[in-house]
């Protein structure tokens, strides 16, 4: 089994739009896919959603493990 990493993805100035990936992808593989999408919105006004980013990753790396989480979807344990 490949090593899985948890990676925080931040594409805007709004922390509530951040999301987490549990994946076996490397950071540069993720950046190669999502950076052009984010820059296209910034430069050309072509809007995207986090779901669009996830779909692009899944389509580019269909044989890799990629799970999407938001902070709201995480369970919280306080002791």
Domain that holds residue 76: 1-11+28-79
Classify residue 63 as left (phi > 0), alpha (psi -120 to 50) or beta.
Answer: alpha
Check whether 2 has a pLDDT greater than 80. Answer: no
Domain count of the fold of the chain: 1
Mean pLDDT computed over 13-18: 85
User: Residue 52 phi/psi, 5° resolution?
Assistant: -65, -40
Q: Give the model confidence (pLDDT) of 35-78 as tens digits.
A: 999 999 999 988 999 999 999 999 999 999 999 998 888 888 99
22 within domain boundaries: no
Cα–Cα distances in angstroms (integers) from residue 67 to residues 1, 36, 56, 76, in the given order: 16, 21, 13, 18
Q: Please state the pTM of the whole predicted model.
A: 0.86
Residue that is written with structure tokens 């052009």 in the block: 36
Instruction: Look at residue 25 in the predicted model and tell me its pLDDT.
Output: 97
16 within domain boundaries: no
């Amino acid at each position: 089994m490949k090593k899985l990493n948890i990676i925080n993805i931040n594409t805007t100035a709004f922390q509530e739009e951040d999301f987490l990936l549990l994946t076996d992808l490397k950071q540069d593989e993720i950046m190669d896919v999502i950076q052009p999408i984010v820059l296209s919105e910034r430069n050309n006004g072509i809007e995207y959603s986090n779901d669009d980013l996830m779909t692009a990753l899944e389509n580019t790396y269909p044989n890799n493990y990629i799970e999407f989480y938001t902070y709201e979807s995480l369970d919280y344990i306080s002791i």
